[in-house]
Amino acid sequence: MNTGGQMELYGEQKTEHSGLGGGAEPIISIRNLVKIYKTKKVRFRALGGVDLDIWPGEFVAVVGTSGSGKSTLLNLAAGLEKPTAGKIFIREKPIHKMKEDDLVEFRLNHVGFIFQNFNLMDTLTTLENAAFPLMLRGMPPLKREKQAKAVLSGLGLSGHLAHDPDELSGGQQQRVSIARAIITKPEILFADEPTGNLDSETAEQIMEVLREIVRENGTTLLMVTHDMEKARYADRIVHIADGEITRIEERGEWQ
Ligand SMILES: Nc1ncnc2c1ncn2[C@@H]1O[C@H](COP(=O)(O)OP(=O)(O)OP(=O)(O)O)[C@@H](O)[C@H]1O
Ligand SMILES: [Mg+2]
């Protein structure tokens, strides 16, 4: 598959891969993160004090069974939810302290999201969905469409620009959502079960696309999944159970 278009777009901001440490600062730093959900009847500790550093250009997979706290960890790291206690720094910015307005700005300009169910807008075409974050930034239509076309071409979607999401296959829809996630050239991508709704062959192709984005562009990727096969695409695998990290595997330990 040709992913050249999006790589070109990214060229100017390529960052050094730090390896694991090498003196560089972590891009995401999580300290003693606790999340307690309180409902009318129950109080549930979804995260029980998580510490994790993620380095620039690293692909980290968080794996665990259903209910282990994976999505909670991702949502907190991305500033989509507030922690009960603990700290999250992204490039030394304290996400846990940010007000909603600043979080909206942060999400629009610094991170991209990829979800299991694609979350595309069903009234928008492929081109419009991919260009949507640029529209939110106030970029004029012709300019944003040009950029979206380049990214979509890199993801093999040039022939489907005018399709609505329901006229695309699952794999194509996920490519559109990847295009939308990377169009603002974010430093960090967050992905929650990005291949959960795809057949195994399509899922592998999407994993290859994600790994290539990390390798070629120096993007940091935090992905959660219950599937070890998908986790093995990562540089590091963080195992989580009952809201706590139980083990961290480095690439090389499983390949
Ligand atoms: N809004 C909420 N209110 C109450 N409890 C919640 C809420 N969100 C999550 N939980 C609980 O927190 C725990 C962790 O949920 P989380 O969604 O992080 O799991 P997960 O590892 O992503 O699971 P899955 O693989 O099924 O997506 C679960 O037991 C869940 O019931
Ligand atoms: Mg989940």
How confident is residue 78, by pLDDT bands cut at 50, 70 and 90? very high
How confident is residue 24, by pLDDT bands cut at 50, 70 and 90? confident
Mean pLDDT computed over every residue of the chain: 90
Percentage of the chain lying above the pLDDT 90 cut: 85
* Ligand with the closest atom to the CA of 115: 2
* Ligand with the closest atom to the CA of 239: 1
How confident is residue 10, by pLDDT bands cut at 50, 70 and 90? very low
- Mean per-residue pLDDT, 18-39: 82
Atom of ligand 1 nearest to the CA of 73: 18
32-44 pLDDT, tens per residue?
999 999 998 999 9
Q: pLDDT value at position 255?
A: 66
DSSP string computed for the chain: ---HHHHHHHGGG------S-TTPPPSEEEEEEEEEEE-SS-EEEEEEEEEEEE-TT-EEEEE--TTSSHHHHHHHHTTSS--SEEEEEETTEEGGG--HHHHHHHHHHHEEEEETT----TTS-HHHHHHHHHHHTT--HHHHHHHHHHHHHHTT-GGGTT--GGGS-HHHHHHHHHHHHHTT--SEEEEESTTTTS-HHHHHHHHHHHHHHHHHH--EEEEEES-HHHHTTSSEEEEEETTEEEEEEETTS--
More confident residue, 192 or 15: 192
How confident is residue 8, by pLDDT bands cut at 50, 70 and 90? very low
- Residue 215, pLDDT > 80, answer yes
How confident is residue 253, by pLDDT bands cut at 50, 70 and 90? confident
Query: Lowest-pLDDT range, 4-8, 24-28, 165-169, 237-241?
Result: 4-8
- Residue 251, pLDDT > 90, answer no
* Ligand with the closest atom to the CA of 192: 2
Ligand 1 residue neighbourhood (C-beta within 6 Å): 37, 39, 44, 46, 64, 66-72, 226
70, 224, 240, best to mutate for ligand 1 pocket (most atoms within 8 Å of CB): 70
pTM over 0.85: yes
- Mean per-residue pLDDT, 160-176: 96
How confident is residue 22, by pLDDT bands cut at 50, 70 and 90? very low
Atom of ligand 1 nearest to the CA of 64: 21
Task: Write the residue with the smallest CA distance to atom 19 of ligand 1.
Answer: 67
- Mean per-residue pLDDT, 59-69: 97
- Residue 12, pLDDT > 60, answer no
- Residue 97, pLDDT > 50, answer yes
Percentage of the chain lying above the pLDDT 70 cut: 91
Task: Write the residue with the smallest CA distance to atom 30 of ligand 1.
Answer: 67
Atom of ligand 1 nearest to the CA of 72: 18
Q: pLDDT value at position 109?
A: 87
Task: Write the residue with the smallest CA distance to atom 25 of ligand 1.
Answer: 66
In angstroms, what is the span from residue 147 Cα to ligand 2's centroid? Answer: 32
In angstroms, what is the span from residue 247 Cα to ligand 2's centroid? Answer: 19
43, 68, 224, best to mutate for ligand 1 pocket (most atoms within 8 Å of CB): 68
* Ligand with the closest atom to the CA of 226: 1
Task: Write the residue with the smallest CA distance to atom 1 of ligand 1.
Answer: 37
How confident is residue 189, by pLDDT bands cut at 50, 70 and 90? very high
